Structure 1
């Protein structure tokens, strides 16, 4: 019984040379000018289409708790003061008086703000400027719209 002889080095080298001729992954150099032009045209059309769409404005819904100093604070006047705060990107919503305890009620008021124009810190500072009516302002709920 004869065993097969391993291939010689010359034969293996010849096989390696044949494999070098095949480019399995393709080459970027082979892209024709038409394909490049077509790709650039599509990218330009996509950019134009994207520019035509209006940008979405990020908005948030905020529920504020505005607390008075005591039970003798005029809550109607307090709400009028809060609603007098007018900022670009701020829209006031509904409100209600919620009992806290010992006859004291807090004002819960809803507002919608544009995130890029109105910050929560700015809103709280503007409301707390009414020192004779407002003791503190807390954010009860904050939701992105």
Structure 2
């Protein structure tokens, strides 16, 4: 954590990027965290680092009230983005090599003969189960209700007109006459 050396342009660039979407380090008012970072900067940031310069000028306006700002001042290395190592002399930490722990296993290690045999057996079982399954061909099934205008509509002529409709992939299935009520019947088609 930290910004690195805030007296260098690299450290000020990290500070500028960090302040791109923040006004202060902690919360919505200036605090002792802002004072701690402000005191680590020797001079105002260059004008091309606009976020850092805006923040610097704003905190400088609290020159007389710095001691009364809320919060507790802690080490400078505790503030800032988590992905930057602090390289200052006061904030240097001992870092361990994280590469010695392999959380997900390594492909470099030799697999035992029993494990290889077991894996091969399971793959063979899976392939045999997969080969036994029939390929399922998906065919959509649609039911269409064709309703007449009134009870005097010629239902035989209506069915003839409906079945005259032709389209790619359209196959008319069975149909039946279903009673709706009051002597009115409609056709239900399976497509």
Q: TM-score, normalised by structure 1?
A: 0.38
- Structure showing greater Rg: 2
Higher strand fraction (1 or 2): 1
Greater RCO (Cα-Cα under 8 Å, separation 6 or more):
1
Q: TM-score, normalised by structure 2?
A: 0.31
